[in-house]
């Protein structure tokens, strides 16, 4: 009975892992770890993950494990952050964001939606617990989406970078059993090895560009009709004042012209 209970517990323990793999960010993170290990083995041992066997595990020592963890931490936290930031800045300078629609501008035009900053000011000014609760929920949602988006950008760029690095490295040092070799062997395709590599590269590039083009500005707009009505009235008054100023300006302009003609 105890053994059956332990087996059941172990089986249930796998469910959270499988649940995480439904999320695309987690899948990309798993792929990043796999590609990093593949590149590490290709550079240090001359073979990839798919060539790793139980007999070759004896080649590893504690120093190799520590070096892998150190490089993984440094590259993932600093190197990847810097490289992705440079690429992001270059794409932004090239105005690549114009290729992607902006969702935030759509909500600005919708009736009942207000900017999250205006909602916070309204909640503090009116001491409204309901408005402040709506603000906190909206801000928390926006922040979570922003963190997840930045993580997805870095991880997807990391997968792209590591794949290209491992591909070039295997071409130079002749490493066998790298990621691309494993995919090619598993799919048993009739196309060339190089063509498969180009396809994988394009897929990873499209994934990164998709995350680059995403934005979370739409979450900065909250549906809160009471404040929206106030904003509409304020905007109406502002336009009326502007029209009044324009009328006064035109009247003064005509009076001045009449005096000059006189």
Cβ burial, residue 12 (10 Å; 0-12/13-18/19+): exposed
In this prediction, residue 18 has a pLDDT band, given cuts at 50, 70 and 90, of very low
- Model pLDDT for residues 211-262, shown as the tens digit of each residue: 887 777 777 888 888 888 888 888 888 888 888 888 877 777 777 766 666 5
- Model pLDDT for residues 76-89, shown as the tens digit of each residue: 888 888 988 888 88
The residue ranges of every structural domain in the chain are 23-223, 226-262
Global confidence as pTM: 0.73
């Amino acid at each position: 009975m105890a053994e059956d209970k332990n087996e059941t517990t172990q089986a249930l323990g796998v469910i959270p892992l499988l649940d995480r793999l439904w999320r695309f960010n987690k899948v990309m993170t798993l792929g990043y770890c796999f590609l990093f290990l593949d590149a590490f083995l290709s550079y240090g041992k001359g073979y990839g993950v798919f060539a790793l066997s139980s007999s070759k595990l004896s080649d590893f020592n504690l120093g190799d494990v520590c070096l892998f963890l150190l490089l993984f931490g440094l590259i993932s936290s600093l190197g990847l952050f810097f490289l992705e930031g440079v690429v992001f800045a270059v794409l932004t300078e090239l105005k690549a964001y114009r290729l992607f629609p902006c969702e935030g501008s759509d909500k600005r035009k919708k009736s009942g939606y207000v900017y999250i900053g205006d909602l916070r000011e309204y909640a503090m000014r009116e001491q409204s617990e309901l408005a402040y609760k709506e603000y906190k929920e909206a801000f928390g949602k926006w922040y979570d989406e922003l963190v997840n988006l930045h993580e997805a950008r870095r991880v997807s760029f990391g997968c792209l970078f590591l794949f290209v690095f491992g591909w070039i490295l295997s071409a130079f040092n002749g490493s066998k059993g790298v990621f691309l070799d494993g995919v090619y062997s598993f799919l048993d395709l009739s196309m060339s090895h190089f063509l498969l590599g180009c396809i994988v590269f394009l897929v990873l590039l499209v994934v990164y560009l998709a995350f680059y083009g995403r934005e979370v500005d739409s979450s900065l707009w909250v549906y809160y009709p009471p404040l929206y009505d106030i904003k509409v009235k304020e905007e109406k008054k502002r336009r009326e004042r502007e029209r009044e100023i324009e009328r006064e300006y035109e009247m003064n302009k005509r009076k001045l012209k009449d005096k000059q003609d006189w």
